[in-house]
Every structure is written in structure tokens, then in C-alpha cells.
Amino acid sequence: MDSLIAASARALAAGDAIGALKRVALRDDPPALALRGIAMAQLGEHPRARELLRRAARGFGAHEELARARCVVAEAEVALAMRDIGGSPRPLAAAAATLEAHADRANALQARLIAMRRLLLLGRLDEAAAALAPLDTRDLPPALTAVAELAAAEIALRSLRTGPAQAALARAHEAADRARVPALQAEVAEARAALDRPAARRLLADGEQALRLDEVAALLGSGALVVDACRHGLRAGDAWRPLARRPVLFALARALAEAWPRDIDRDALIARAFRTRHPDETHRARLRVEIGRLRALVAELAAIEATPQGFVLRPHDAREVVVLAPPIDGELGSVVALLADGAPWSTSALALALGASQRTVQRALVDLEGAGRVRSIGRARARRWLSPPLAGFTTLLLLPAALPIE
């Protein structure tokens, strides 16, 4: 390795992309191309970074598989930053195996962390936690330690385990300070700030109360019957009834919970669940069917009794009924939550992360664009969607699969 390449690599490790480019900007040999690609990625020029990294990988000879594997890992991280999460994870896994075979432990761990962060974006918390558990971050560069601890903190936060999240964020803060990389320090600071921001709203008879993540966790552990409009389900103690795929039943449950301890009129229930202002006998018959389904689903948690006017919710064991609402109103909360990270997302990536069809996501984005909440850049296949960062609260509970890991 010549002196310019070594100096450029040291500058990149310190987060000085401009300093790295000054040393290799005019060179086209594979090592210089790889460093230029990483520098462009740090500057946010991700398409150009990907092109340079691919050129570098092609330029390395057949006997330089270690260098090619490092290029694959760098390109995978660029793809993650571009929210290009639809590709196969096998090339990255193969690169990690090659790096481990050549005793390049730091870059092998980097590859494993990239794969795990992709799982987080897709909302696969159980898989992400399983991928993170065996990783050993001892004796590694502090920047990698900080990234690993940030990932552990995100898994804990999205699982509402605030104690482990705070501990992981403290370790990430210490590692980021040792790394002295400004972007990494800013990311840790942003993650720590999420603990102090409102994450949900508790609806009360005379208004609402903003709740932080630790307060949400305490509420869910209190034994109350919680109708969770952030994750669309019902919780009482350790019992969880998901209703994300049964929107009519959830609308009925929320309406009954908001009226508790009083009953709610049948016409009001029909308007909430079926979205019609002019009910007829067919709607009333359907209401009886849906109430029967909901009654069977929540039988272990509460009873639903008929009254002369409508229906009333009767929780077992004299439980309190609480409605937990998201920090932002509307049915497009998960889309807004994904876009709130400030990164440009493609429609296909959003659909993959949300587990929805691209057509559904496109309709949601058109509605949000009409309301001025998102904007698009580029055209056709290069089109990406952006949203301004949402200040004042955190959208962690609106992210896909943000459910407790038991």
C-alpha cells in the first residue's frame, strides 16, 4: 500500500472525506477507486459512490478476493443508505465469510452489522436480534462498536425495553466519542433524544396526555386493557391481540374503548367502522356479526355487552381501559415514520418494509404529497421520496413490526 492510499484510508476512518479525496481524486487504480467511492458515500453522493465501488471491484484481480469482498461490503452499506433493500443478501454473506477466512475481523463484523441493519429496516426485529446476539465487538475500532450498540439500542427501543436501550446508548455514546466521527456522534445524540420525546398520546375524557417511551412501557405493563392505535392491537398484561390485519374489528374496539365506561350508540359504531353516515338494516346486521367476532377475540380480556342504545366494553378484573394513540393522526403513519429518517426511499423499498403492495404505497404517497407532507425527487425508476424530519416527537412505535420481543 502506497503512502497516499494509506493516508486517504486514515482520513476516511476519521470521517474526513474531503481530506481523503484530496489524496486520491485523480487516480483510477482499484484501491483509489474504492477509497473515492467510500469518500463520495460519506459526502452523500450515493449513486456516484456505488459506481466507483463497482469499478474498483472489477479492477481487482482474481487473486485479490479480499479486496473485492471489502468493495462488496462498502457497496452494501451504500445500498442501505440509499434504502435499496430489495436485493439478495447472499453476496454480502459471502463477502463476510471471505473476510473472516482472511482474518479481517473488523470488516467481517461490518458486513454482519449491515445485514442486521437491513433486517431492522424491514421490521424483522426477531431476526435482527438473533443476528446481533453472536457478534463480538470487543477489541474493535470504536466506530464499529458504536454502530453495534446503536443497533442494539434500536431493537430495545422498538421492543419498548427502555432500560437496555439506555444502557446500549450510553455505550454507543462512549464509543462514538472515542471514534471522534462527527456524523456518528450526531446519530447517537439523535437516538438518545428519542427517549425524551413524546412517542404516543393517551386519550382522556377531557383531552390527551403525551407519553414518552418509558411511560408507554409502564402503561403497557400496568395491567390495564390498552387499545394500542400505534400498533393496532389490544394488550392486557402479557396478553396481546393483534388487529393490524382486521381494521374493522380494531375500529370497533377503539370506539368502545374511547366511550368506556359508558356505552356507545350503534349508529356511531357503524359510522366509525363502516364509514357511512346513512346506516340501514344491512349495516346493523353486519355490525352484529363484527361485534360477535370481536367479542370472541377478546373474551379472555373483556366482555362486550349489548345495551338498549348500543354496546359497552366490560374489562375483566376491574381493569382500566386506556386508548393509546399515535403521535400523529391519520392512517399513513407507518409511511410517514419510515420517511422521517430523512433518507430518500423508493416506492419499492417502502412497499417491502411495510409488507404492502407498491400500488398501495403509491396511493399513500400521492395523498401525503397532496397534503404537503412528502416530496419526490427524480423520475421514473430513479424517483425517491423524502419527508422533512419530524421534530418534537418520535415515530418509533409507528415503524413496521414495532412489537415487543418476548
Residues 6+ apart with CB under 8 A from 158: 125, 396, 397, 399, 401, 402
Alpha carbons 212 and 203: distance in angstroms, whole number? 14
Alpha carbons 7 and 338: distance in angstroms, whole number? 37
Is 136 in contact with 171 (CB distance < 8 Å)? Answer: no
Q: Per this entry, what is the length of the chain? A: 406
C-alpha torsion angle, residues 175, 176, 181, 186 (rounded to 10): 170
The whole-number pLDDT of residue 405 equals: 46
pTM: 0.80
Higher pLDDT, 355 or 191: 191
Q: At 396, which amino acid appears?
A: L
**Mean pLDDT, range 60-69, rounded to an integer:** 88
State the average pLDDT for the chain: 86
Is 347 in contact with 365 (CB distance < 8 Å)? Answer: yes
Alpha carbons 178 and 253: distance in angstroms, whole number? 50
Question: In the beta sheet, which residues pair with residue 265?
Answer: 310
**Mean pLDDT, range 282-290, rounded to an integer:** 91
The whole-number pLDDT of residue 406 equals: 47
Is residue 293 pLDDT above 90, yes or no? yes
- Neighbour-count burial for 122-149, b at 16+ CB within 10 Å, e otherwise: bbbbeebbebbeebebeebbbbbbbbbb
DSSP single-letter state for residue 241: E
The whole-number pLDDT of residue 402 equals: 52
Phi then psi dihedrals of residue 315, to 5 deg: -70, 150
pLDDT tens-digit series, residues 117-134: 998 888 888 888 888 888
- Neighbour-count burial for 199-218, b at 16+ CB within 10 Å, e otherwise: bbbbbeeeeeeebbbbbbbe
Alpha carbons 365 and 361: distance in angstroms, whole number? 6
Is residue 1 pLDDT above 60, yes or no? no
DSSP single-letter state for residue 1: -
Alpha carbons 145 and 65: distance in angstroms, whole number? 26
pLDDT tens-digit series, residues 18-48: 999 998 888 889 999 999 999 999 888 888 9
Alpha carbons 8 and 11: distance in angstroms, whole number? 5
